[in-house]
A = this chain, B = another copy of it.
């Protein structure tokens, strides 16, 4: 047999097996990363919200002789790792249960502004940051989930450092300091790219000092949901991760506790 022909036939035989096996189980080679924080009495909430509460129904040995534990809980929608449904800031847009799974799952990109945000808790992601990212990585793909990494997640859950204040009540709101997304950047993304959702490793997609929550209004007015207090963004690559973001399915909710994970293919 001709040497080249033999080499090519080996290649051909090898390749008919490989795709068949991969098609059988595409999840055989990769891993899930958890981008969600735990809910506990340490979970930081907005100064005007109550804390997460877990109450014991029962915990111990029952009269039947077996162990049993059960709890109930109360929470504000918008604390810990959570979803903002578009209706949070845009009347008539999707509430929590209305967001299609298609908009909660998809290829993710990570835009890292942590170098700038490290020394400035009031940092807002700019149009320039997005343009710089695209210069290196190409345009943000259609239907991407865009995750902004400010690096602020390293301060979670200590409210004083993470939120800028651990004081409670309406007067503490003015003391919030954490990075967010500049409304101009939100406007640019809504107008120029077709993205499914946005996420950030801070308590809010608007920075702590925002008074009018313009970035919320812009994204949610376009039915683009937000993921806030997203964890472990340092473990997600710039491109190539696939995100599954599943909120508790609260009917009529303006948000919900969110379990968000990323699939990293080997």
- A190 CA / B87 CA spacing, docked (Å): 45
- A91 CA / B58 CA spacing, docked (Å): 13
The residue in chain B whose Cβ has the minimal distance to the Cβ of A261 is B101
Contacts of A107 in B (CB 8 A): 25, 27
Asked whether A70 lies within 8 Å of B76 as measured between CB atoms, the reply is: yes
Contacts of A9 in B (CB 8 A): 8
Asked whether A69 lies within 8 Å of B87 as measured between CB atoms, the reply is: yes
Q: Is A18 an interface residue (CB 8 A)?
A: yes
Contacts of A19 in B (CB 8 A): 15, 18-19, 22
CB distance from A106 to the nearest CB of B (A): 8
Residue interface bits A105-121, CB-to-B below 8 A is 1, else 0: 11100000000000000
Contacts of A142 in B (CB 8 A): none
Asked whether A253 lies within 8 Å of B54 as measured between CB atoms, the reply is: yes
Contacts of A252 in B (CB 8 A): 40, 54, 71
- A101 CA / B31 CA spacing, docked (Å): 9
Q: Is A12 an interface residue (CB 8 A)?
A: yes
Asked whether A77 lies within 8 Å of B87 as measured between CB atoms, the reply is: no
Known A72-B77, A77-B71, A242-B25; judge A66-B212 contact (CB<8 A): yes
Q: List 8 A-B contacts (CB under 8 A).
A: A4-B5, A23-B265, A25-B107, A26-B265, A27-B106, A39-B248, A64-B211, A246-B246
Residues in chain A within 8 A of chain B (CB atoms)? 2, 4-5, 8-9, 11-12, 14-16, 18-19, 22-27, 29-30, 32-34, 36-40, 49-50, 54, 57, 64, 66-78, 81, 87-91, 97, 101-102, 105-107, 211-213, 217, 240, 242, 244, 246-255, 257, 259, 261, 263, 265-266
